[in-house]
Structure 1
Amino acid sequence: MTTTQLTAAIVITLSHHLPNIPIYPATGADTQDSQCLAYRLLAAKLIRERSDRFVQSLIYEIRWMDGKNIPEDLPDRLFEALETLEVEGVFCRATELRWKAWGETPKLWVYYTMRTTKVPEPSSPMQHLEQQPTVIKTTQV
């Protein structure tokens, strides 16, 4: 599962669970709609466990753009929507969800941790070996 696939799954899930709320990438561009959500990838880390196994950690931030008019059930709805995502038939569960709304723009941090295995390159199958009997002549001295 790639970071791009997980990001797309987050947007699809949010759109499904919160159909009346616009969702935008947080690209720095200001939007006129303050009653919306903006998302961005905060951090990504890949740690090698073995030569063929890795642990990938991703942190996403979901912001509610209007700091004054926060829907009362928004944190619960975000938690429910983002706790478990399905990406192409594979389920990915959040390891941590944090909601912060005091003193600044309300935001949710979602942490996902995935284990991945590097697929080995295909090798050629075993070849068939044929043997033919040979006669060794010996001479006696």
Structure 2
Amino acid sequence: MTTNQLTTAIARILSQRFTNISIHPSTGNNNSNPDTKGLTYRLLSAQLTRERSDRFVLSHAFEIRWLDPNDIPATLPDELFEALETIDVEGTSYRATEMRWETENDTPRMLVYYTMRTTKVSESARTMQQLEQRPTALKATRE
């Protein structure tokens, strides 16, 4: 699973669950236009960490923001938790490892973290080749 696939899955889930709310990627600008309503989403970080020589941990942190702090639907946090707790990425379900609803500079946001463990698949070992043996005649010599 790639970061783009995960981001696309989050956008799809938000669009499916909140059909009458405007949903779009964040521009990275935290100063929202007061006339703007709806949700934005963005990837905060993606990190690949080696646990062992063949095991890795892939971590993603996403931010979902409600753009109008003066008009927050009362059920929004619960609906976001429900929508993002388990998501489907190309046929595989991923469960959030942490979800937090908080306020930053009077703008409500949800932080969602997804962590996956992966194993590096080693190259397949070559199978033993067949050894060809030919009979040979040995001559004995005297000294």
- TM-score tier, shorter chain, comes to 0.7 to 0.9
* Cα offset, 1:49, TM superposition: 1.2
SS in 2 for 1:127: coil
Partner letter of residue 105 of structure 1? T
- Aligned partners of 1:33, 1:15: CA distance in 2, in Å? 20
| TM superposition score normalised by structure 1 | 0.88
The one-letter amino acid paired with 1:62 is: I
Aligned positions of 1:33-52 closer than 5 A: 34-52=36-54
Number of equivalenced pairs: 141
1:2 partner amino acid: T
CA RMSD of aligned residues (A): 2.1
Cα–Cα, structure 1 residues 96 and 65, in superposed 2: closer, same or farther, change >3 Å? same
Give the deviation of 1:126 after TM superposition.
Answer: 4.2
Q: Which runs of 5+ in 1 are unaligned?
A: none
Does residue 1:55 correspond to 2:63, yes or no?
no
Counterpart code for 2:24: Y
| 2:91 partner amino acid | G
Identity %: 57
Corresponding position of 1:6: 6
Distance, in Å, in 2 between the alignment partners of 1:132 and 1:125 is 22
Amino acid of the structure 2 residue aligned with 1:61: E
Q: Mapping of 1:1-141 within 5 angstroms?
A: 1-28=1-28, 34-101=36-103, 104-121=106-123, 124-141=126-143
Q: TM-score, normalised by structure 2?
A: 0.87
Tell me which moved more, 7-16 or 99-108.
Answer: 99-108
After TM superposition, the structure 1 stretch with the greater mean CA deviation from structure 2, 19-28 or 109-118, is 19-28
Residue 37 (structure 1) shift: 0.6
Where does structure 2 lack aligned partners over 5 or more consecutive residues?
A: none
SS at 2:53 equivalent: coil
Shift of 1:122: 5.2
